[in-house]
Structure 1
Amino acid sequence: MNLADMLSYADIGQLSRIATTYHCDCNGNSKNDLIQSILSTVNRRDVFEAQIGAMKLEDLRFINSLLFDARDAFSLEELVARVQQSKFGVPPAEAEPAANAVPADKPSVKKSTKRNKASKEKPVPESGPRETISRFKQYGWLFNGYSGSNRYLFQVPSDLKERFKATMERRFASQVNYADGEPDAYRDEQLLMGEDVRQLLNYIHHNEIPLTSEGVMYRRSVLQILELFGVKEQLPARGEWRFGYGRRMKEYPNRLSLLYDYCYYNGWIAETSTLLTLTASGKERQALQSPEQSDKLYQFWIRLYRGPIPNIRSIIHWIDKLSRRWVNAEDLMKALVPFIKPYYYDQPETILEQRLLTMMMHLGLLRVGEHAEQRQVIRMTPMGKSIVAGLSIDDDAIILNG
């Protein structure tokens, strides 16, 4: 539903509070007058962008988390959790709300037969998850459901979602620099990962691959597989901190780990007590001798990495939008790093550079180049733009148990 539809279902008390927030000059007794005044104010680009520009980083992270969720309705508990997750580095005592608190609404505009200027009543600054939700209700950015079981669920108006995206895109774009012309050289790995799925299955089919007591391939086998791949990787350093991005992330390089887990998830490979083998379905897949489709690999990657990077879909969206031309990689990272939460010892910069940008390059979504003036630059590939734009992805994260 759009904002106008949601306003029509709102009671006059909530409309008065929204009108107060936007300093609307209207008749507080007339629902129609309140709705028209709110719509005319909110639809002004300068007003909307001023509201976004004045938001705290935590609030921007919160709204960003809602814009790319496949669902269109959220419970109060879910919203509280989203607000808390948006407060990176905030002490628990400041982030935690009262146990059973309910969003408190502002005092409504007093009803009067006279026209009243809503700007006379200014909202009191608030803090805490439930107060943040209440404030977003006063902006007209969150509404309670209007009927039945939906009464206790919250929604963001559909048209405001698109305006939020457009406004945030302009905000991000103002923080980055674009290169003039093509880079001197660039790296493009389109279709290579799909071909390497075939190579991995062929190697397992034609070789006896012993496993350690922990179910891991020996170094010799890993090196032989990497020699067959279109992209060469280094083995992980001993003692390097690696977990959270798949079953074998600790033992295998990032790209190989993803390919291995993909085959495991699809039931094509099996780990016995001593050997790595193909299953019956794995033998059927290997016999096809065809590369794996890039969109399937992308979908698996998003779901696998969604655990440590809950807002991975939104970050990919912004990378896609900001990289339609050759963009300075350092600028892009500075713009997006504040929206990435650390994952144990993985800092936001590492997550963006290694877990997202590098893996997007491996998946064929991004080109990475070197430019004489802008230094390292990146750009979405044609395949990357179509995959990111065309996929509806299950929101459930994939958890692969050992």
Structure 2
Amino acid sequence: MSNLTPFRPNYHLIGTKGCRSKMRIAEWLTYAGIDQLKQLHRYYGCEQTDQHSKHELICSLLRQISKKSYIHNLLEGCSTTELRFIELITLDPSPAYTMEELLAKGRAALCGEEGTPRSFVVAALKKGWLFPGYSHQTQYLYHMPSDTREQIQQAFVQSYIPFQQSNSPSCYRDEENQMVYDLQRFLQYLQQDIVKLTQDQAIYRQQCKQLLQTFAIPEEPIKSGGPRFGFGRMYHLYPNRFSLLYDYAYYEKYILEEEQGYLGVTSVGSERCSHLGVQEGKQLYRFWIRLYRRPIPQLPIILRWIGLLSYPNWISVSAIYQAVSPWLKPFYYETEKSLFQKIMEMLVHLGVGKWGEENQEAYFTLTSNGIRWMHGVSAFGEQTIEEGFIQPPK
């Protein structure tokens, strides 16, 4: 167990990049045409004012949308599919979207239900939650005002505050940086020992067991029975954590499955072995996102929810599941709950979060690395791993 005090930088919301293109709604209104301002004025039922004065229209609109109940009332009136679309455009930290990206988010929000993706975009423009670009370079991009985004995020998080606690649970697991240390141990093991592979390209069971016992976080070799596929190239042969380590090392060309039936470390792997650090952990996290996006397509928004709810306090795991379960869909033999358990398990293994337990309740919070990585890495920007990579070797 660890009693280290978590690193807590002064971020208002995790995952929001700072860039000049993210303007507040007052600035966006100044670039809006008078017809759009009139339409917004009518939509929000603003007080009567000079319809020919852009300044008067903007002031009237700002008075209306600055009310505390403004966001809450709008969200209350949204359907389930509309809320899913709002989550997708609000929790994605991208500063701007193309129409194609917005329509893709609309399709994702529908989840197979009847409806037209374009209707979500039209509604967001009508409410002033999206604005078209005002310059020649940005005229085909759509932006969400930064303060609107923050207010909606706060409204989403608000209902989960009762499930948070500032005190650490009586016991908790913290594996921060252990994944990188075990990657180093794996490469060192290959440097020092001869590792022969079976016809399936797997490390022989007894040697694999010996290797796994040298790790800071040991695992047992998997037992035969039950389906295992979809979560990596070697997922069918190795336990979850080592499967990810192995796949990452193979993808980065740190290891080589030789034609003669041996597993060895490459010159790249030997060089990296002595220079592994926290940055490698971040790369492992990014690789995991790419790998798990194939069986869990909505992993990016699930991670954004986890990042928002798990900082700066601990939050009950059941509350996290409540927030993300609409984005989980069964994957062959995996249920929504088992997929969620896999995500949480791997976030702990990757050193992104800590898992605690108290009074028969499970809790989760971000580690110092988790705060930095969830702030610095947008899972929405990580492309799904190439399909050819996850095909098991023949």
TM-score band by shorter chain is 0.7 to 0.9
Task: Give the counterpart of 2:314 among 315, 323, 326.
Answer: 326
Secondary structure of residue in 2 paired with 1:276: strand
Secondary structure of residue in 1 paired with 2:216: coil
Task: Give the deviation of 1:158 after TM superposition.
Answer: 2.1
CA–CA distance in structure 1, aligned partners of residues 118 and 167 of structure 2: 49
Counterpart amino acid of 2:216?
A: G
- Consecutive unaligned residues of structure 1, counting only runs of 5 or more, are 96-127
CA–CA distance in structure 2, aligned partners of residues 215 and 387 of structure 1: 33
Task: Give the counterpart of 2:290 among 303, 306, 330.
Answer: 303
Task: Give the deviation of 1:22 after TM superposition.
Answer: 1.4
Counterpart position of 1:54: 77
Counterpart position of 1:347: 335
CA–CA distance in structure 2, aligned partners of residues 363 and 79 of structure 1: 31
1:1-400 correspondence runs (5 A): 1-27=23-49, 28-69=51-92, 71-90=94-113, 94-95=114-115, 128-174=116-162, 177-178=163-164, 181-273=167-259, 274-287=261-274, 293-323=280-310, 324-354=312-342, 356-372=343-359, 375-391=361-377, 395-397=381-383, 399-400=385-386
CA deviation digits over 1:190-236, x for unaligned, max 9? Answer: 22111101111112222222233443333333322211112233444
CA–CA distance in structure 1, aligned partners of residues 77 and 173 of structure 2: 39
Task: Give the deviation of 1:398 after TM superposition.
Answer: 5.1
Runs of 4 or more, structure 1, over 6 Å off, are: 289-292
Secondary structure of residue in 1 paired with 2:159: helix
Question: What's the C-alpha RMSD, in Å, of the aligned pairs?
Answer: 2.8
Counterpart amino acid of 2:234?
A: R
| TM-score with structure 1 setting the length | 0.80
Task: Give the deviation of 1:369 after TM superposition.
Answer: 2.1
Contact 2:201 2:257 in 1 (8 A): yes
Contact 1:269 1:282 in 2 (8 A): yes
CA–CA distance in structure 1, aligned partners of residues 45 and 277 of structure 2: 62
CA deviation digits over 1:141-177, x for unaligned, max 9? Answer: 1122223253232221222122222221213335xx2
CA–CA distance in structure 1, aligned partners of residues 77 and 165 of structure 2: 30
Contact 1:305 1:397 in 2 (8 A): no
Contact 2:25 2:145 in 1 (8 A): yes
Go from structure 1 to structure 2 and tell me whether the alpha carbon gap of 1:18 and 1:237 turns closer, same or farther (over 3 Å shift). farther
Counterpart amino acid of 2:75?
A: I
CA deviation digits over 1:266-319, x for unaligned, max 9? Answer: 221112232211111112233558787433332332333344444434433332
Counterpart amino acid of 2:283?
A: K
CA–CA distance in structure 2, aligned partners of residues 321 and 71 of structure 1: 16
Secondary structure of residue in 1 paired with 2:362: strand
Task: Give the deviation of 1:44 after TM superposition.
Answer: 1.5
CA–CA distance in structure 2, aligned partners of residues 180 and 208 of structure 1: 49
Counterpart position of 1:98: none
Counterpart amino acid of 2:53?
A: S
Secondary structure of residue in 2 paired with 1:25: coil
Go from structure 1 to structure 2 and tell me whether the alpha carbon gap of 1:302 and 1:135 turns closer, same or farther (over 3 Å shift). same
Go from structure 1 to structure 2 and tell me whether the alpha carbon gap of 1:195 and 1:6 turns closer, same or farther (over 3 Å shift). same
Counterpart amino acid of 1:197?
A: L
Counterpart position of 1:101: none
CA–CA distance in structure 1, aligned partners of residues 34 and 42 of structure 2: 12
Identity of aligned residues (%): 33
Counterpart amino acid of 1:78?
A: E
Secondary structure of residue in 2 paired with 1:270: strand
CA–CA distance in structure 1, aligned partners of residues 329 and 142 of structure 2: 24
CA–CA distance in structure 1, aligned partners of residues 82 and 351 of structure 2: 33
Moved more, 285-294 or 72-81: 285-294
Secondary structure of residue in 2 paired with 1:230: coil
Contact 1:65 1:311 in 2 (8 A): no
Tell which structure's C-alpha radius of gyration is larger.
1
Counterpart amino acid of 1:38?
A: L
CA deviation digits over 1:244-268, x for unaligned, max 9? Answer: 4322222221111111122122221
